[in-house]
Each structure stands twice: as structure tokens, then as C-alpha cells.
Structure 1
């Protein structure tokens, strides 16, 4: 059993959980989230596999916890770093950029493929965990329509299409077949032009950084 260095057992558990999540994050950059094993995670976190099972009963539970942490971090980052004066087009650009950065930092298969390997229950839970990102995108679309920046579109369905555009860059980015900035420009410009945004505004949005 690892030596308890924290002042309380609760603090020790929190520290160990953080090490586990950091281990998953590190492993996904080299192996991909679908390829890592509980043994890999335990070794990277510096704990025994038995200790790991005290925190997460199986791989689906571990990956769902990791997905929830990544999603929460994405939403916080978006809210903290996006300037309050940003237009809807600029917000869309930043959303796409942050999503693509997540793909690069934590390579993993598309949700359907990952869900198939984890089972239907875990897939539904996975979908529930990533829902906040889709809601955030829906808010961007609705704000753009309210401000007459975007053409009127069904927000929920359009959000899914934009996420699919982002997801389509997963393989080209992971294989080095496209540069990050090119992928960002392609997805952002395609989505904004589809929403009726003029070319000049698209160009400014693509190059606006958070």
C-alpha cells in the first residue's frame, strides 16, 4: 500500500485520484484511450493494480471519469478564456480550436467506436458526459441567430453536424496528414459559411484567438 503523505485519508485519496487521471492523460497521448489497460494506468500512477480497482471498478468507469474531467475542463477553459466582447462567429472559432486541441492532446477513437468497445451502458454514460460541450455549441448557434450573425437553423441538429466536422479531423491530425491550423481553418470556415457568414467575417473569426 502506498505511503500516505497527505494530512488525511480523504486528501490522500484525492491526491491518488489526481495521479490516476494524470496517468490516463499521459497514456492517451502515446497509446490512445482505447488501447490502455488498467495495468498500464496503475504503473503510470505509481500504484498497484489492486489499489486502482479501489478507485475504479473497471476500465469503462475509469474512462468515463476521465472523459468527465476533460469535458469539465473544456467548459471551464472556454468560459474563462473567451473575451466577453467576442462575436458568435469568433466564439465558434474558439470552440472549434479548443475541441481540436483536445483531440491532439488526448487522441482517442470516435465516440461510437469507443462506445462499442466499452458496451452500450458505458456508451450512453459517455454521451451524457460530453453533453455539456454540445449544449455550449447550441448556445453559440442560438446567440448567433439572435444577433442576426447566423442564418436560422435547427440549433440541436446543426450542433451535431459541427461536432461531426470536428471529429472528421481526428484521423488526419493523429496521422500528421494535416496541420493543426489548417484543420481549424477548414472546419471553422466551412461551418461559418454554411451558417451564412460572409467571407470577411469568417477570415477575422478564424484568426481570432481567445
Structure 2
């Protein structure tokens, strides 16, 4: 029987899962997403291939799980920021600024775009749409477009934060994005 890494089965499983995620991200960063095999992941994580397959069917699934974990952390941070108070317009501004700063600071490796779709993108869109819906209801932003359209605008505009040279430039980008959301005179 293999030695448990932790005192409880649940803690052991969580530690093995984390080791798999870390090993995969390191290998993909070094070799590229298309070059990594499950055998390499198992070896890097210090587990057998059979154990690895109990957790994930393929490298893509591991990367998706890693990305979902990253996004969950970002969404928790956004939730804390928006729950800190202020009116709907201030909460929207804080939400967009946090999102833009995260994009600027942690835009991730090039392969992250491969897994940034589906449920992860849907949760991000829903969060931004809720903030936009509240701001539109309060009159802080325009209401002649759907929250879905406005969220699409915001997320695409703020994606530019990944290439900006400073936090000051990111803040200016957020203000420019907010200017596009202002109600028509």
C-alpha cells in the first residue's frame, strides 16, 4: 500500500491533485501544451500513471482544472471587492478595475487561452453582467444595450490590460471603458 502524503484521505487526494496541477503547468511552460504527455506529468508529480488517470483522463483536462481554479480565485476576489460597499456604479468600477489589474498582472501563459472557454468564461461573463445590470438599474450606466452586450464590450476592452506597461495605464483603460458605458446625454 502506498504511503499517504497526508493524515486524511481527503487531504491526500487534494495534495495529489495539486501536485498533478503544478507538475502539468510546469511541464507545459517548459515544453508547450501539445508536447506534454500523461507519463511526463505522472513522473513530475511523483505518482504512477494509473494514479494519474484516476484524477484526470488527459492533459487538457488537467489544464482546464488548473484554469478553473485560477478563475475561481479571481472571482472570489472580485466578490470580496464588490461586497465591500459603495453604490452600483462604484461597485462596477471596482469590479472592472480588479478584473483589469488581474489581466495585467496575471494574464497567464499563452496556452491559457486554449482552456479559457466554456464554463469558466460563462462564470466570468455572468459576474460582470450582474455588476452591469445593477449599475444600469441605478442609472449609473447606459441601459440601451443588454448586459450581455456590455459585458462583451468590457471584457474585450479590458483584455488590452495584459499588454499595458503600468498600473496607471490600466486605470486609464478602466476609465476609458467606463466612459463607453456612461448614459447618453
- TM (norm. structure 2) is 0.76
Stretch deviating more after TM superposition (32-41 or 47-56): 32-41
Residue 63 (structure 2) aligns with? 63
Task: Please tell me whether residue 162 in structure 1 is matched to residue 154 in structure 2.
Answer: yes
Query: 1: CA distance between counterparts of 2:32 and 2:147?
Result: 30
After TM superposition, give the deviation of residue 183 of structure 1 in Å: 4.9
Give unmatched runs, 5+ long, in structure 2.
none
Equivalences for residues 34-49 of structure 1 within 5 A: 34=33, 37=36, 38-49=38-49
Cα deviation digits, residues 183-208 of structure 1 (max 9, x gap): 522431221111128xxxxxxxxxxx
Give a deviation string over 1:63-92, Cα, whole Å, max 9, x none: 221122112111112112442226132332
Match of 2:16 in 1: 16
| 2:175 counterpart residue number | 189
* Contact 2:81 2:94 (C-alpha < 8 Å) held by counterparts: no
Q: Shift of the alpha carbon at 1:41?
A: 3.7
1:90 aligns with 94
> C-alpha separation between the residues in 2 aligned to 1:110 and 1:65?
11
Query: Mind listing any 5+ residue stretches in structure 1 that lack a counterpart?
Result: 116-122, 173-177, 198-210
